[in-house]
Structures are given as C-alpha cells and as structure tokens.
C-alpha cells in the first residue's frame, strides 16, 4: 500500500501537462482534537492520492492545516469525501485568487506537533476563547476607525510585497516572534483600542486572537478566512479593496495579485519589483525579490558567488556541496547582508500614529 509520494516534481509536472486538465488550488484548516494523527494521516493519503490531490497537509493532535490542488473536475468527489469526516463537514474551502496547474507538484501529508509553529504552550490559556470573526465589509469599517489597531500576523517577507493600508507589519521571521512584539508595543492600549488582525487564510489569527485575549486585550477581531476570503468577498459584494500589492502564498506560485500596486523593490538593484525567487545555486536557495533585469544578469542567483557556482558543471557543484549541508541562507528569506536593497521594516509602529502616552 502506497503511503508516500514516489514521483519527483519533474515527473509530476510532466503528468499534469500530459493530462491537460485544469486544477484548483485551495486551502483550509480546522482546530479540532484528533486522537490518532498518524492513522488519520494515512487514511487521507490513500484517498487523496487516488483523487490526484497534490499539496502540503499538516496533521497534529490539535487539528489539520491543508494547502493543496486537485483536478477541477474532481472537486465534487473531494468535497464529498471531506464531508464524510465529521469535523470537516461543511468547512470553508479557500479557493485561490489566481490558479496555476503547477502550484503543487507532490502530495505531502505530514504529522506534526502543531499545524502552525506558534511556539505556544496551549495548556496555559483557553485556545477556544477566540476573537470576533468579521467578513470583508465589517473589516473595512473597522480599519477606518481611529480606535483600531490593524496588525498583520504574517512574516516580513510576506507583508513586504503586500498588506492592508495602515497595517502594522512586524519585521519578524516567525509567527511566534510577532506575538511578544505586538503585546509589548500595544500594552498601553489593551482596553481602549480595537485589535484587528489578519493573515493569509485565517489560521494564524485563530490562535493569536485567543492568546491576546488571554493577555488582557478586551476588543479582539480577526479577518474571517484571511486575505484569500477577503478578496473573494470584495469581488462578490462589490466592496472597496483596501489591500495593496500581492498576497504571498506558500506554493509554486509564491504570490497572488490583489491590486496592481508594486510596493516592494528588487533586493539587488532597488527597482520596483515584487516577484520572489529562490537562488538557483542549490547550496543556497535564498528566497529574495529579484527584478527581470537582475534575474537575467545574475542568472537567477542572489550573488556573484552563487552565480559563479551555478555556472559550474553539475558534478562540480555537487562536489562543492559534499559535507557542507544546506546554507543557513535558505531560512533567512531575503535577510542576507549582500542584498543592499532589502527593505528595512523596523520602526514599523511609527506609522501607526498610536498615542502611547495615553
């Protein structure tokens, strides 16, 4: 019985191309007690592999977090199966704003300690005491209120290419880092301000809203379904779009365009740009923003050193990597010192105009 992916990304891409079918990219999550995550994981893999589902799904005793794609003509089969699982019946499926048949090229269903790496001890607070969920229309009203503090719960490389107007965008590498920063910077406003949060699809706000209520914030709100659902609602309801730029996504697309604004710059030359790339040097793979001109000049690499290595024959590159392990740059997400135009997002709260003297 097959319980793991056996095809390479290249082999899978060829099969998708040959099939000639449109695929849907979507995501969902659910915090729920799962008694046997490994058994549940294996059951999902067997069924979803038969449905030609591809993606990255995390399962833990606290729930499930799925980002995936599947043939559009098999969506009803997939939905029927989802509805047979009692805690997933009727769950909202966030369909991607922009579709790409190659958004995922492998099916990875993994058992983890948590479905989001939040670093929190859930036993110390009530994770079910969450903030108020609001849709796009109410969200637009709230963020125009002078008593609202709007906070982006994503990481720096996500908010750099797109965020809501006037949002606080913490300069952090991880979700966990942002929690303490936000609490400290807003500690004087736990009762007199409305704390409104958003993220990509809503999952990070689920835990963060409960955490901040535990920390004493009285008026906590979260954008239902995150940026993905917000975009769908503003189109369906003909509402004003208050998101500028692109929404970063964790698949081969890397981003969805929400507005035509380009708010970031190429990390190498400083020109307006908002397309992320991974350095082509297999020993680096740093994620950074690169314009088309630099992409051509640098051969998809982040530095001249990586460019020189990438130009070597494959066997020579392989020999250089032997025993070295992965470069830590792959975890830096654009923070390398040799990228002169990496946007500095520090002192982000200065633009918020929150009067901390009150």
Phi, psi of 282 (to 5 degrees): -60, -20
Average pLDDT across each block of 10 residues of the chain; the chain has 358 residues. List them in order.
Answer: 84 94 96 96 96 97 96 97 96 93 96 92 91 98 96 95 95 91 93 96 95 96 97 97 96 94 95 95 92 97 95 91 64 76 48 38
What is the structure's pLDDT at 345? 41
pLDDT tens per residue, range 132-181 = 999 999 999 999 999 999 999 999 999 999 999 999 999 998 899 999 99
What is the structure's pLDDT at 335? 79
Residues 6+ apart with CB under 8 A from 190: 215, 216, 217, 218
The predicted model scores a pTM of 0.88
Tokens in use for 339? Answer: 């990228």
Helix (H) or strand (E) holding 213: helix 203-214
All structural domains of the chain, each given as residue ranges with its CATH number in brackets, are 9-111 (3.30.70.100), 122-239+345-352 (3.40.250.10), 276-331 (no CATH)
Active-site residue list: 199
- Can you tell me the distance from the alpha carbon of 142 to that of 149, in angstroms, rounded to the nearest whole number? 9
- Asked if 221 and 195 count as a contact pair (C-beta separation under 8 A), the reply is yes
What count of other Cβ atoms lies within 10 Å of the Cβ of residue 313?
Answer: 8
What is the structure's pLDDT at 119? 86
Cα distances from 174 to residues 75, 155, 180, 181, in angstroms, run 33, 6, 11, 11
pLDDT tens per residue, range 301-356 = 999 999 999 999 999 998 988 877 655 555 567 778 888 887 554 333 333 333 43
- Can you tell me the distance from the alpha carbon of 305 to that of 63, in angstroms, rounded to the nearest whole number? 43
What is the structure's pLDDT at 329? 53
**Residue owning tokens 């088309």:** 292
């Amino acid at each position: 019985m097959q319980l793991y992916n056996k095809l390479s990304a290249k082999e899978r891409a060829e099969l998708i191309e040959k099939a000639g079918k449109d695929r849907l990219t979507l995501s969902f999550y659910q915090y729920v007690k799962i008694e046997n995550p490994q058994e549940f994981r294996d059951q999902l893999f067997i069924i979803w592999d038969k449905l030609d589902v591809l993606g990255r799904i995390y399962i833990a005793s606290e729930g499930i977090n799925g980002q995936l794609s599947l043939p559009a003509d098999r969506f009803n089969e997939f939905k029927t199966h989802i509805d047979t699982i009692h805690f997933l019946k009727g769950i909202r499926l966030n369909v991607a704003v922009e579709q790409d048949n190659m958004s995922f090229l492998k099916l990875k269903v993994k058992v983890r300690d948590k479905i989001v790496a939040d670093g929190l001890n859930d036993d110390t607070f009530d994770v079910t005491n969450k903030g108020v969920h609001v849709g796009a229309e109410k969200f637009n009203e709230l963020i125009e209120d002078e008593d609202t503090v709007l906070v982006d719960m994503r990481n720096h490389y996500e908010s750099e290419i797109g965020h809501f107007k006037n949002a606080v965008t913490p300069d952090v590498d991880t979700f966990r880092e942002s929690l303490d920063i936000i609490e400290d910077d807003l500690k004087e406003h736990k009762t007199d301000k409305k704390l409104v949060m958003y993220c990509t699809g809503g999952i990070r706000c689920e835990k963060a809203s409960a955490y901040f209520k535990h920390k004493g914030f009285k008026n906590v709100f979260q954008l239902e379904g995150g940026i993905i659902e917000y975009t769908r609602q503003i189109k369906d309801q003909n509402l004003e779009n208050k998101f500028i730029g692109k929404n970063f996504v964790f698949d081969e697309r890397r981003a969805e365009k929400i507005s035509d604004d380009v708010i970031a710059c190429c990390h190498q030359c400083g020109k307006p740009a908002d397309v992320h790339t991974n350095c082509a040097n297999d020993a680096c793979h740093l994620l950074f923003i690169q314009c088309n001109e630099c992409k051509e000049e640098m051969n998809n690499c982040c530095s001249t050193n990586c460019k020189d290595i990438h130009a070597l024959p494959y066997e020579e590159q392989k020999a250089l990597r032997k025993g070295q392990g992965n470069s830590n740059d792959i975890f830096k997400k654009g923070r390398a010192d040799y990228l002169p135009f990496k946007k500095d997002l520090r002192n982000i709260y200065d633009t918020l105009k929150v009067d901390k003297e009150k």
